Structure 1
Amino acid sequence: MLTPMRIAKALLCGAGIALVGTIAFASPAGMTPEYEQTLFDMPLLDGTRLMVSTPRSQWRQGEMPYLFQTDPLWSEKPYAGDTVRANGCGPTCLTMVYIYLTGDTSIDPSQMCAIADAGNYAPTGATEWRFMTQGAASLGITGRAISVAESTVTAALEAGQPVICSMRPGDFTSIGHYIVLESVDERGMVGVHDPNSSLRSAQAWRLDWVLSQATNCWTFTA
C-alpha cells in the first residue's frame, strides 16, 4: 500500500526532490495560456495513478522510450542505498539512451542501477557524472561531455545524438536531477524525457530555458 511517505519518495531523485506538477510549466517554456489552464485543471497524482513507462515490447533502436524511475516494475529495486524510485534518475536516463542507440531491450532501469552500483558510481546516493562516460563505455556506447551551449547541444541533437543533462534547481528539481533531450525543432524547442515526471515529458521546452538550468551535458553515440 502506498503511504503518504512512499508517495513523497516518488518525487525524490538523487539527493534532492524533483518537482512534479503544474509548477513545472512556466510560461517561458513556450505554452499558450489555454494549454497552461488545461494543466492546472489536471487532477493531482495519487498513489493509484503512477507513471507508466513505454512497454518493453515497444523498445526499439531509433525510438526514445519514456522510462520512469517511479514505474512499479522497478521502482522498489535497490539502488545507491535506497531505491530506483528515490535515486535512479541517472541510470534511468542512460537506459533510455542505451535503448535508443542500440535497440537492446535486455537492460531496464533496475538493471542499469545494478550496473551503476557494481561500479560504485553512486557512493553517496547521487549518481556521479562519470557514469555518463565510464558507465556508458562499459555498455559499449560512447558518452562525451559537451559544453552547456545552445549551439553545441543543437548540433548534437540534429545529428541524431541524444543528450543527457544534469540539472540544477529550477523547473526540474529542487536540488539535482538528470533528464534526456531527444530532439530540437526549428523554433529551438526540445523534446524532454524526464524520468521523474510524465507531465514535464509531455511538453516541448525552449532549449535555452532548459540549458539555463543545466550544470553539465553529455552526448551519446553507439
Structure 2
Amino acid sequence: MGSLILVDWLFMPLWLTDTIAFALLGIGSILFIVAGVFRSKAKGQNNENVQRDAEVKPRVHKTNKRKTVLVAAFTLAIVSAVLFVGVTCFHRKPVIETVPENVVEFGEKYPEAREYVQDFMELKDVDFDMDVTADMSEKKIPLFIQWDKRWGYRDYGGNYIGVAGCGPTCVAMVACGLKQDSSINPYVVGNYAAEQGLYTYGQGTSWDIMKTGAEHYGLTVYDGSVSSQYIRDNLSDDSPMICSMKPGDFTYTGHFIVLTGIDENGLVVVNDPNSPKNSAKKWDVDTLISQMKSVWMYRL
C-alpha cells in the first residue's frame, strides 16, 4: 500500500487524485487489518485443537496474543508512514479536479507535460522571469518548450501557451535565434498573435502567423516545398524552417515544429516545442516529409 502515493505521483493517470488514492489506501489498510485478525484467530484455534497438554495451552494463547499485537503495531506503523508521505505529497501536488479540463486532457495526451499539469494551480499566477539568454547560449536557434513554467501558464486567446502555443513558440525560436534578441520569447509572440486575431480557441493558430508574425520581427519568409530535396538543399541554422505537421510522431491533431539544421549523418535537427524527447532525437528527412503539411523558411 505504501507505493500507492508514489505510483500516483509518477505514473498514474490524472483521474487518480489524492482523494481517490487515500480512499483506496484506507480501504486496503482496513482489509489488511481485518484479514490479519482473522488469520490470528484461526491459528489460535488450530493450536488449541492440536495441543492436548493443559499446561502448554496458556503459553500458546499468550504467543498468539503477542503475534496479534505485533502485527497490529506493524500495520499501524506502515499506515502512519504512508499517511505522512501522502500528506506531504498532498501539500506539494495541486488537486487535479480544479485544473481546467483542457489542461488535464493535454497532460493525458502528452505525458512529458504531466508536471506542467500537476503544478498548474500552484504556479498559474506566479510571475516568472522570462529571460532566455541561457537558452540562446546552447544553440543558435534555441529550444523553447511551450509548457515551460516561465510562460506556459500565461493566457493565449482564452487558452494557455502551454496547451495551444506551439505556433508562437516556433516563431519565437526562429526570431530570437536569427535576430539574437533575448526579448523575443513565446509569451511575447503569443500576445502579438492574440492581438492580431491569429488564434481561435478550439481551432488553433492561423498559418498566417508564420508569415506576418515573422515579418513583424524583421525576418524574411519564404514558402517552402514539402520535399526531401528542398530541405536538404536549403536547411541550415542560418535558414531554419517551421513545419506544419499532421498526426504522427509529433501530434495527435496538428502541430508546428522547427527544423534547425542537418547533422553530419544527414539527419535533421528538430526543435519540437512540445517535446524535449523529440528534440533530442535526430530525424530522417523522409520521415518528416511523410507527416508534413507545409513548410516556411526564414532568413534575416
TM-score, with length taken from structure 1: 0.77
Partner in structure 1 of residue 192 of structure 2: 115
Report which of the two has the higher share of helix.
2
> Secondary structure, in 3 states, of the residue corresponding to 2:152?
coil
Change (3 A) 1:57 1:11: farther
Distance in structure 2 (CA, Å) of the matches to 1:79 and 1:102: 24
Percent identity at matched positions?
A: 32
Partner in structure 2 of residue 92 of structure 1: 169
Give the 5 Å matches for 1:128-167: 128-158=206-236, 160-167=238-245
Distance in structure 2 (CA, Å) of the matches to 1:217 and 1:117: 22
Change (3 A) 1:103 1:61: farther
Which residue identity does 1:111 align to in structure 2? V
User: In the alignment, is the contact (CA less than 8 A) between 1:122 and 1:128 conserved in 2?
Assistant: yes
Distance in structure 2 (CA, Å) of the matches to 1:141 and 1:218: 12
User: In the alignment, is the contact (CA less than 8 A) between 1:192 and 1:201 conserved in 2?
Assistant: yes
Q: Which protein has the larger Cα radius of gyration, Structure 1 or Structure 2? A: 2
Equivalent residue pairs, number: 194
2:259 aligns with one of 149, 172, 181: 181
Question: Which one scores higher on RCO, CA 8 angstroms, separation ≥ 6?
Answer: 1
Partner in structure 2 of residue 191 of structure 1: 269
Distance in structure 2 (CA, Å) of the matches to 1:161 and 1:11: 35
Partner in structure 2 of residue 9 of structure 1: 103
Which residue identity does 1:99 align to in structure 2? C
Partner in structure 2 of residue 31 of structure 1: none
Residues 82-114 of structure 1 deviation map (CA, whole Å, 9 limit, x = unaligned): 110111000001100001110011121111100
Q: Structure 1 unaligned segments of length 5 or more: list them.
A: 22-43
Partner in structure 2 of residue 205 of structure 1: 283
> Secondary structure, in 3 states, of the residue corresponding to 1:180?
strand
Alpha carbon RMSD of aligned pairs, Å? Answer: 2.9
Change (3 A) 1:217 1:106: same
Q: Structure 2 unaligned segments of length 5 or more: list them.
A: 1-92, 121-129
Give the 5 Å matches for 1:43-62: 46=115, 56-58=132-134, 59=136
User: In the alignment, is the contact (CA less than 8 A) between 1:19 and 1:174 conserved in 2?
Assistant: no
Which residue identity does 2:144 align to in structure 1? L
Distance in structure 1 (CA, Å) of the matches to 2:103 and 2:238: 34
